[in-house]
Structure 1
Amino acid sequence: MNEPMPGAEPGPEDEPLPLGIARTPTGNAEVEAQLERLADADHLPADGHIEVYEDVHRGLRSALTSLDSAQPLPGPQPPAEHRPYEDD
């Protein structure tokens, strides 16, 4: 990428270009908001990207942790001989 001359206005060639990576929606609004936040890095110099990435990472961990705690995993099933019979 060309460095702008001092005092020069940035032109269209200096704007970030989309990577063209298709993303499948997750169906979770909190996760979607975090993924959209990644676009904020497009308008920052490279040394500012890490702050955005770390913020998104924290948000995604929080969202995914809350999903895990909201849906407890089923416990182990008792052996077949101890299960009550079902009436048909």
Structure 2
Amino acid sequence: MTDSVPEGRVTEAEEAAAVEPDYDPAAPAPLNVPRTPTGNAEVDAQLDRLADADHLATDGHLEMYEDVHRGLRDALTALDARPPGPPAPAPPYGNRAPAPSYHQSRS
């Protein structure tokens, strides 16, 4: 007598495993934290990357958070930079302050 299963048949253990997936409470799980768009494409792209944490083990979070923080800092710093524009017009000739004289004696 053999204990083998005829080809094409599934054992009860295989069937149960297919129906009930293994639950691992230590496995990464999505936090499902809603992210509201800011309207700035660069900032929104960095915030969307936070969803990557849902698929990482805890020890991978720090590196990802630091990278997103660096990207957000760069994007926000760029918003504070003034765009280069044309130079301000010079005041009329009569309103210009006199140039400093380097030959005047100091008092």
TM-score, length-normalised on structure 1?
0.58
Match of 1:18 among 31, 43, 49: 31
1:15 Cα deviation after fit: 5.5
Q: Quote the residue 2:62 is aligned against.
A: 50
Give the helix-richer structure, 1 or 2: 1
Q: Which amino acid in 2 is paired with 1:48?
A: G
Secondary structure of 2:63's aligned partner: helix
Task: Please list every run of 5 or more consecutive structure 1 residues that lacks an aligned counterpart in the other structure.
Answer: 1-8, 72-88
What is the count of residue pairs matched by the alignment?
63
**Alignment of 1:61 onto 2:73:** yes
Q: Which amino acid aligns with 1:35?
A: L
Matched with 1:41 is 53
Structure 2: 5+ residue stretches without partners: 1-20, 84-107
Q: Report sequence identity in percent.
A: 61
Deviations 1:41-62 (A, max 9, x none): 1111101000100000000000
Q: 1:44 to 1:65 in 2, by over 3 A?
A: same
Larger radius of gyration: 2
Shift of 1:11: 5.0
**Corresponding letter in the other structure for 1:30:** E
